Amino acid sequence: MGLVNKKKDMTPFDMKRRPVRQSPLLMPLYYAVSAFSTRGIKKNKIRMKGLKPPFLVYSTHQGFLDYFIVPRMLFPYRSNYVSDMEGFAAYGIGPYRAGGCIGKRRYVADVSVLSNVKYALKVLEQPVVIFPESRHCDAGITSTLPKNLGRLAKLLDVPLVLIRSHGAYLANPFWDEEHRRKVKVESTAELVYTVDELRAAGADEIQRTVEEKLAYDEYAWQKEKRIKIRGNKRAQGLHLPLYRCVSCKVKGKMRSSGTEMWCDACGKRWTLTEEGDLRDNGSGRSISIPEWYRGEKEEVDAAVKNGSYRGIDVAVNVEALPNEKGFVPLGTGRLIHNAEGFTLTLDNDPGITLDSFPLTVPNKRLESVQTEYDYKKRGKCIVLSTQNCCYYVYSKDESFLVTELEFAVEALYLVCLLV
């Protein structure tokens, strides 16, 4: 990661360019890397015998390991993958296209992406893989899923396969991707609808089925499997998703190191046990990570609902990712988020932007927002995307709580749907 667009070429990525079949010459390499990365994986296939491409795949997205799990589960079939711009910038457009990737900007509706998915299914006759959570999970539970998955499956009119995995998040949580844990992965690929079954079912029924089957709680699974994670850095970074103290309710004062997390405001400390619970060092009572995380979300949802959400106004650094050639620095600026949406301003006009600034992104356009906890080793970041460009926005301000922003964006989008 971290490619620099040295020529500051701001030509937008060509979303209309047709995908290609995954290269048969590179397929052995892809499979070898996937097999090595997921060695020891427990595989389970349901109703998959005799299924041949094309078919649509929705997969859970717990972390980076998913990019190796899915090819392993679908082997020997070559597939096309809907992917964001970061991959094209990191690995180059040639290798990434040869890998079957279809370009997309996260949380931006684009008919070109739908057209290319149809092309891959109907013309290339390959499986197409979509990660509907669109980002790695924060706290071991399913991220918000788009509400159009049932309609999309019916529109594409090919068999629907779901791949769901356990262990990928526990092995490499999003809040600490530097320290790999020793956790074996289990994955299931299931044909949930044949074409005939898909045509007979309603979009709402398909949506419910997808949501139910892609739901997961990794910490409940850890207990079920009696998995112990013994690493001495197992809590490192956990304060990033768990930003609000459950004791004093102060936000942004949580810290973590080694096996502990604590609050700088009230002094409370918790130990992340080998079994995956947060144990209060004073009382000995435990709370689960998903329970803590859901409490934060419920607080933000309530603030949005009663009109008390105030948002943020922080100084930021901004980079643009217009295409596969890398990042273009745009300098410093200011990011505001409130009940209306995002406003991003630049302190100085770089003269090369693809969009007019101040850039406004209303809530009705954003189902969610891409968040990063330590992107390119530069700290917390969110990504605001338009049809032409992705803007990576960093801030060191203590009030820049990206998990809270994620909750607020999702809650405000639902409010817009009801208006």
> How high is the pLDDT of residue 419?
64
Asked if residue 418 has pLDDT above 80, the reply is: no
Q: In what order do the strands lie in the sheet with 160-166?
A: 42-46, 186-193, 160-166, 56-59, 128-130, 80-83, 101-103
> How high is the pLDDT of residue 141?
96
Q: Using CA atoms, how far apart are residues 85 and 389, in angstroms rounded to an integer?
A: 9
Res. 315 pLDDT band, cuts 50 70 90 = very high
Asked if residue 165 has pLDDT above 90, the reply is: yes
Q: Using CA atoms, how far apart are residues 191 and 206, in angstroms rounded to an integer?
A: 13
> How high is the pLDDT of residue 1?
43
Structural domains of the chain, with CATH: 27-224 (3.40.1130.10), 231-273+276-308 (no CATH), 312-418 (2.30.29.30)
What's the rounded mean pLDDT across residues 334-343? 95
> How high is the pLDDT of residue 5?
86
Q: What is the pLDDT of residues 345-403, one digit of tens each?
A: 999 989 898 999 999 999 999 999 999 999 888 889 999 999 999 999 999 999 999 99
Q: What is the pLDDT of residues 125-164, one digit of tens each?
A: 999 999 999 888 999 999 989 999 999 999 999 999 999 9
Closest CA to 186 of 305, 303, 65: 65
Percent of the chain with pLDDT over 70: 99
